[in-house]
Chains A and B, each alone.
Chain A
Amino acid sequence: GAVVSQHPSRVICKSGTSVKIECRSLDFQATTMFWYRQFPKQSLMLMATSNEGSKATYEQGVEKDKFLINHASLTLSTLTVTSAHPEDSSFYICSAQRAGSSDEQYFGPGTRLTVT
Chain B
Amino acid sequence: AQTVTQSQPEMSVQEAETVTLSCTYDTSESNYYLFWYKQPPSRQMILVIRQEAYKQQNATENRFSVNFQKAAKSFSLKISDSQLGDTAMYFCATVYGGATNKLIFGTGTLLAVQP
Contacts and interface: CB of A to CB of B under 8 A. Distances in A.
A46 interface: yes
A32 B101 contact: yes
Contacts of A105: 101, 103
B98 to A, nearest CB: 11
Interface of A: 32, 34, 38, 42-44, 46, 49, 57, 91, 93, 95, 97, 102-105, 107, 109-110
Contact of A107 (B45, B50, B95, B97): B45
B102 A107 contact: no
Interface of B: 33, 37, 42-47, 50, 91, 95, 97, 100-108
Contacts of B46: 107
Given A43-B105, A95-B45, A109-B42, A104 B50 contact: yes
A46 B101 contact: no
Nearest to A102: B101
Contacts of A97: 101
A43 B4 CA distance: 11
Contact of A43 (B33, B47, B91): B91
Contact of A109 (B37, B44, B97): B44
B43 A91 contact: yes
Contacts of B103: 34, 44, 46, 95, 105
Given A103-B50, A107-B44, A109-B43, A43 B101 contact: no
A91 B100 CA distance: 23
Nearest to B99: A102
B107 A42 contact: yes
A42 to B, nearest CB: 7
Contacts of A91: 43
Given A43-B107, A49-B97, 19 more contacts: A32-B101, A34-B103, A44-B91, A46-B102, A46-B103, A46-B104, A91-B43, A97-B101, A102-B101, A103-B33, A103-B95, A103-B101, A104-B47, A105-B103, A107-B44, A109-B42, A109-B43, A110-B43, A110-B44
Contacts of B108: 42-43
Contacts of B42: 109
A38 B47 CA distance: 17
